[in-house]
Amino acid sequence: MENKTHLKTDLVIIGAGMAGLAGAVFAANRGINTILVGGAGAFEYASGLLDLWGLTHPDNGYCKDPWQDLAQIQASRHFHPFSKICPSTIETAFGELTDVLGQNGLAYAGLPRENSQIITAFGTAKPTFRYPVTMAHNVTAFRDKNPTLLLDFNGLREFRARFVQQVLSSTWQNIRIAAIDFPQMSGRSELVTPLMAQAMETEQVQDKFAAAVRPQLKGEQFIGVPAILGINTADKIRKRLEGLLGVNLFEIPTSPISVPGIRLKESFKKALEDTCVTRLPDQRVLLASQNPGKDFVLETHTHSGIRAARIQAGTCLLATGRFLSKGLISDRKGITEPLFNLRVDQPTDREHWHAASYFDPKGHAVNLAGITTDERFRPLGRKNLPAHEKLYAAGSILAGQDWMRTRSGAGLSIATAFSAIEQIALGRT
CB of 411 vs ligand FAD, minimal distance in Å = 6
Give the CA angle between residues 420, 102, 47 to the nearest 5°.
Answer: 75
Q: Residue 14, interface with ligand FAD (CB under 6 A)? A: yes
Residue 20 lies near ligand FAD (rule: CB under 6 A): yes
Single out the residue of 141, 139, 116 nearest to residue 129, CA to CA.
116
Q: By CB under 6 A, is residue 325 in contact with ligand FAD?
A: yes
Q: x-or-dash pattern for ligand FAD, window 39-68, by CB under 6 A?
A: --xx--xxx-xxx-----------------
Site for ligand FAD contains 295 (CB under 6 A): no
Min dist. Cβ of residue 365 to ligand FAD (A): 19
| Among residues 321, 370, 379, 400, the one that binds ligand FAD under rule CB under 6 A | 321
Binding to ligand FAD (CB under 6 A) within 132-171 occurs at none
Sites for ligand FAD among residues 372-401 (CB under 6 A) = 395-396
At closest approach, how far in Å is the CB of 255 from ligand FAD?
9
Name which of residues 235 to 274 contact ligand FAD (CB under 6 A). Answer: none
Interface mask toward ligand FAD for 332-361; x: CB under 6 A = -------x----------------------
The rounded distance, in Å, linking the Cα atoms of 378 and 392 is: 4
C-alpha angle 136-140-143 in degrees, rounded to nearest 5: 140
Residue 156 pairs with which residues in a beta bridge?
A: 191
| Positions in 21-40 near ligand FAD (CB under 6 A) | 37-38
State the sign of the Cα–Cα–Cα–Cα dihedral 283, 289, 292, 294: negative
Compute the distance between CA of residue 205 and CA of residue 246 in angstroms, rounded to an integer.
18
Selected binder of ligand FAD within 265, 284, 388, 390 (CB under 6 A): 284
d(C-alpha 92, C-alpha 97), whole Å: 9
* 419: Cβ contacts below 8 Å, ≥ 6 apart: 84, 85, 89, 93, 376, 377, 394
Name which position in 7, 12, 13, 18 contacts ligand FAD (CB under 6 A).
18
Contacts of 40 (CB under 8 A, 6+ apart): 16, 17, 21, 265, 268, 269, 281
Q: Which amino acid is located at 204 in the chain?
A: Q
Choose between 12 and 228: whose C-beta lies nearer to ligand FAD: 12
Q: Provide, rounded to whole angstroms, the least separation between the CB of residue 129 and ligand FAD.
A: 8
Least separation in angstroms between CB 38 and ligand FAD:
3
- 323 is a site residue for ligand FAD (CB under 6 A): no
Choose, by CB under 6 A, the member of 197, 272, 319, 415 that binds ligand FAD.
Answer: 319
3-state secondary structure of 249: strand
Q: Verify binding: residue 330, ligand FAD, rule CB under 6 A.
A: no
What distance lies between CA 30 and its chain's CA centroid? 22
Peptide bond connecting 424 to the previous residue in cis, omega within 30 degrees of 0: no
Q: What DSSP element (H or E) covers 225?
A: strand 222-226
* Shortest Å, Cβ 83 to ligand FAD: 18
Collect all residues with Cβ–Cβ distance below 8 Å to 260 and sequence separation of at least 6.
46, 47, 48, 49, 132, 227, 251, 253
| 228/393 with CB nearer ligand FAD | 393
Choose one: 15-23, 57-65, 308-316, 380-388; the region binding ligand FAD (CB under 6 A): 15-23
Q: Is 224 in the site for ligand FAD (CB under 6 A)?
A: no
Rounded CA-CA distance 187/119 in Å is 30
- Whichever of 165 and 254 has its CB closer to ligand FAD, that residue is 254
Nearer to ligand FAD by Cβ, of 309 and 339: the residue is 339
Q: Quick check: 196 binds ligand FAD (CB under 6 A)?
A: no
Residues in contact with ligand FAD, counted by CB under 6 A, come to a total of 32
Round to whole Å and give the CA distance between 325 and 45.
13
* C-beta separation of 387 from 381 below 8 A: yes
Residue 16 binds ligand FAD (CB under 6 A)? yes
Nearer to ligand FAD, 97 or 149 (CB): 97
Buried residues in 321-335 as b, exposed as e (16+ CB within 10 A): bbeebebbebeeeeb
Out of 123, 370, 400, 409, which residue is the one contacting ligand FAD (CB under 6 A)?
409
Residues that bind ligand FAD (CB under 6 A): 14-20, 37-38, 41-42, 45-47, 49-51, 284-285, 319-321, 325-327, 339, 395-396, 409-410, 412-413
